[in-house]
Amino acid sequence: MLTNYWPLSFKITLLLCLSLPLVFNIGCDNSPTATPPVAPTDPSLPGEEPGSETPAEPAAEAGTAESANAEEDAEQAAAGFKLGDMIEPFTPPTLEELDSMVEWEAQPVLDSLELRREDDAKHPSKVTVAEALKLRNTSKETNDKILEGLGQLPANDNAVNWDASINRHSGGDINSTFPLFMSSTAEFDINSLIGIGLFSFDWTFQNFAAKEAVVSWHSSKDRLFDKVIIRDDLTWSDGKPITAHDVAYSYKLILTKSVPCRAVRSGTDQIKWVEAYDDQTVVYFHKESLVTNNMNMNFPIIPKHVYEPIIAEDPLLKSSKNSHLEDNPVVGGPYTVRSRSRGQEIIFDRRDSFYLHNGKQVRDKPYYKVIRFRVQPNDATALLALKAGDLDEMQLSPELWQNQTDGDDFYQRNTKVFDTEWANIQFIWNIKDPRFADKRVRWAMAYAFDHEELLNTLLFGLCEPCTGNFHPTSRWSPVPAPTPLKQDLDKAEDLLDEAGWVDSNGDGIRDKMIDGKRVNFEFTIITNNRQLRIDICNLLKESLEQIGIRCQVTALEFPAMIEKLSNKDFQASCGGWGAGTDPDTSENIFATDQPRNYGSYSSKKVDDLFLAGKREFDPEKRRKIYQDIARQLWDDQPYCWLYYMNAQFAFSKSLRGYKFSPRGPYHYGPGFSSIYSTVE
């Protein structure tokens, strides 16, 4: 009887299986993983503080039952693995030869926390803690008072609750604790707790060697060589010393083809060679004499003795016998991983052997005994957890800031503060498209857009308008900075008329003869599938409709958008960029044929200025170069710059010591390391 059911049953089964995505409501949710191309993070933050030891098991003792399949994989991997095979062969001189031929200049070796203390001493707070705690953040003035009152470092050790733990919010889980594989903001955050680095930068983006790890740093006058002496009281969490050989090995591993270090290879690949002359002395050899060379030395350092025996056979570190290194890595930073529940939380313990050496304190003791990252993918739930006291900090979206953090239930336990990040959002025009090739058209777009509606309605008046690739308070910004634009439809129409875009056939849409064909001014703008971005594009569409231009908004998943941008298969796009610590980082966005120059902007003047900028060692002359770049870019309008994102954070009232940099409160030195809980 059931024979008759077969075809129907088959169809139903197939239909059900193919419609599975619908079962999971895909596309009906806020995507925590759909992230814009903005990342005010830096993997280079050194481990700022101490922690406790959790030695990892030796790799050879772990994992007994490897399948034949895995063994085959390992053999193939080992055959393809060649340490440092992306590095040009080079024979470094001896240290004596180098010292004899190079004139060294001392570079700063600083303690970032000490820099904060000095800054606090220079700018003592006029607002008491009690006053700051009573305030509600309703204006820039109250915001600054809260920051001033609660942002000070402890007056002395007695003011710190050294046994405190902090619950931090993470919107998503991390993929890896291995520093070379990190690529997401959450992973960079975690690496700042467990990683060790030799270099750092402060809230003004001034670079220095980290005093907690470095004795001295010298550069050659032409910046072709950098010599660093590492402290001899640094240890990995398994008790082995951290040496120059670890630094040289990390460099080589990063530049090994079969090890997919996607985020940390760029920059490191500009170094010609890294040589460890002894346990403490490491010299960086650069390919060119560039002022930007010191940025490239800030790569993560891993323990050679742990990874050297295993990495050739397992360059992706996916073998089960090496899985313990994911959950319980050997670390050099101030914290160790205590436990990791995937999708739920990751807990870190302070590592005593980081700040103590032979029983004596040799570095700043980290303020927190335990740090817990709670994974809360839903912002609304995370806010409830914050209000309930189960989270001590979280980043607030404009919507949460404006509508859900004004009541007593929020201020009972928490306060909120913000500052501008140098991360800007903009429209990118594809200049290869005939519609956007003429800069008068791009200016017309900028004048047509309703900037006030964006700033005051969509962004609740919380964000600053953006007028170029450098923030007005940055030393690279032109003085005076360009004035923010306001919607001027008449001007936009005049510019379009001048450029030949007129409504010649009376159909309400501007058009132009291009290569003998009449082309309507209609285009599609693509953006990431996030509501605010879509709203911004819709605002553009509405603005342009008033001047006879038709715009279609298409929201895409992030990988799809990136592919379209990379292939230049788009007409216009809405996206953003985070701030690099050096203006040269925007070369790959605006110089001709650079990988992130999605809009195909090309200006010989800008190209030459970028080349000159990285070779100019005089700070004032260099400043002028980047100011000229900013002026030229503003004049050419390859982007329609819209606004700077805010770093908006809620903090528990028990927290003190936070200070914002142009990358928010964490991603600089000391960043998170300056935050503490009070004994009260």
Partner 1 sequence: MTVYLVRRLFLAVFTLLVITALIYSLARSMPGDPLQVDMAEMDPKHRMSPEDHALAKKAYGLDKPWHVAYAGWLGGLFKLDLGDSFRYRRPVTTLIGERVGYTLLLSVPSFVVTFGLAVPLGLYVTRRSGRLDERLLSVFFYMLYSLPSYVVALWLLYYFYLRLSGTIFQLPPGMTSDNFNDLSFLGKAGDLTRHMILPLFCYSYASLAYDTRFIKANMEEAIRQDYIRTARAKGLDDRTILYRHAFRNTLIPFVTIIGLTLPSLISGAVILEQIFAWPGIGKLFFDAVNGQDYNLIMGMTLMFSVATLAGQLLADVLYAFVDPRITYQ
CB of 115: closest distance to partner 1 in angstroms? Answer: 22
Question: In this complex, which beta carbon is closest to partner 1, that of residue 76 or of residue 361?
Answer: 76
- Of 51 and 315, the one with the shorter C-beta distance to partner 1 is 315
Q: How far apart are CA 252 and CA 269, in angstroms?
A: 10
Is the peptide bond between 670 and the residue preceding it cis, with omega within 30 degrees of 0? Answer: yes
Task: Say if strands 214-220 and 356-357 run parallel, antiparallel, or are unpaired.
Answer: unpaired
CB-wise, 364 or 587, nearer to partner 1? 587
Q: Least Å distance between CB 90 and partner 1?
A: 20
Query: Least distance from C-beta 475 to partner 1, angstroms?
Result: 17
Three-class secondary structure of residue 535 per DSSP: helix
Which CB atom, from 140 or from 342, has the smaller least distance to partner 1? Answer: 342
Question: In Å, how far from its chain's centre is CA 668?
Answer: 11
Q: How far is Cα of residue 560 from the mean position of the Cα atoms in its chain? A: 21
State the DSSP code for 87: S
Q: How far is CA 377 from the centre of its chain?
A: 19
Q: Which residues are within 8 A (CB) of 269 and not within 5 positions of it... i.e. 6 or more apart?
A: 86, 254, 255
Query: How far, in Å, CA of 267 to CA of 44, rounded?
Result: 11
Tell me how far, at minimum, the Cβ of 673 lies from partner 1, in Å: 20
Nearer to partner 1, 250 or 376 (CB): 376
Query: What is the closest distance, in whole angstroms, from the C-beta atom of residue 334 to partner 1 in the complex?
Result: 22
User: What's the Cα-to-Cα distance from 14 to each of 5, 8, 85, 353, rounded to whole Å?
Assistant: 14, 10, 48, 59
Neighbours of 512 (CB within 10 A): 19
Kindly write down the DSSP assignment for every residue of 426-462, as one continuous string. EEEE-TTSTTTSSHHHHHHHHHHS-HHHIIIIITTT-
Q: What angle, rounded to 10 degrees, do the helices at 604-613 and 619-636 form?
A: 160
Widest distance between CA atoms in the chain: 95
Cβ(306)–Cβ(51) below 8 Å: no
Nearer to partner 1, 490 or 593 (CB): 593
Query: Cβ of residue 103: shortest distance to partner 1, in angstroms?
Result: 29
Q: How far is the CB of 314 from partner 1 (least distance, A)?
A: 10
Q: Which two tokens stand for residue 269?
A: 């690949």
Nearer to partner 1, 549 or 625 (CB): 625
Q: Give the shortest CB-382-to-partner 1 separation in angstroms.
A: 8
Coil, strand, or helix at residue 642? Answer: strand
If the CB atoms of residues 176 and 281 are measured against partner 1, the closer one turns out to be: 176
Dihedral sign (CA 501, 507, 509, 514): negative
What is the smallest separation between the CB atom of 27 and partner 1, expressed in angstroms?
Answer: 10
For 586, the 3-state DSSP assignment is helix
Q: Write down the least CB distance from residue 364 to partner 1, Å.
A: 27
Q: Tell which residue, 669, 672, 678, 680, has the closest CA to residue 168.
A: 672
Cβ atoms of residues 46 and 200 within 8 Å: yes
Comparison of 183 and 397: residue with beta carbon closer to partner 1: 183
Please report how many Cα atoms fall inside a 13 Å half-sphere around the Cα of residue 291, on the Cβ side.
18
Nearer of residues 168 and 372 to partner 1, judged by Cβ? 372
DSSP 283-336: EEEESS--TTHHHHT------HHHHHHHHTT-TT--SGGGTHHHHS----SSEE
Query: Which structure tokens are listed for 374?
Result: 């709670």
> In angstroms, what is the minimal distance from the CB of 372 to partner 1?
7
Residue 527's beta-bridge partner residues? 555, 574
Ordered alpha helix ranges (H), 81-184:
95-101, 112-122, 129-134, 140-150
Minimum Å distance from CB 284 to partner 1?
17
487 and 451 Cβ atoms separated by less than 8 Å = yes
| Cα–Cα dist 407/642, whole Å | 31
User: What is the side-by-side order of every strand in the sheet holding 271-276?
Assistant: 104-106, 214-220, 225-230, 281-286, 271-276
Minimum CB separation from partner 1 for residue 353, in Å?
24
Instruction: Please say which residue, 519 or 562, places its beta carbon nearer to partner 1.
Output: 562
Closest distance to partner 1 from the beta carbon of 193 (Å): 18
Ramachandran quadrant class, 468 (left: phi over 0; alpha: psi -120 to 50; beta: rest) = left
Cβ 429 to partner 1 shortest distance, Å: 19
Q: Name which of 151 and 171 has its Cβ closer to partner 1.
A: 171
Coil/strand/helix, residue 251: helix
Distance CA 523, CA 599 (A): 14
Identify the three-state secondary structure at position 605. Answer: helix
Minimum Å gap between C-beta 44 and partner 1 is 9
- Tell me the β-bridge partners of 428: 573, 639
Cβ proximity to partner 1: between 521 and 598 the closer is: 598
Least CB distance to partner 1 at residue 498 (A): 34
Instruction: Give the whole-angstrom CA distance, residue 159 versus residue 157.
Output: 5
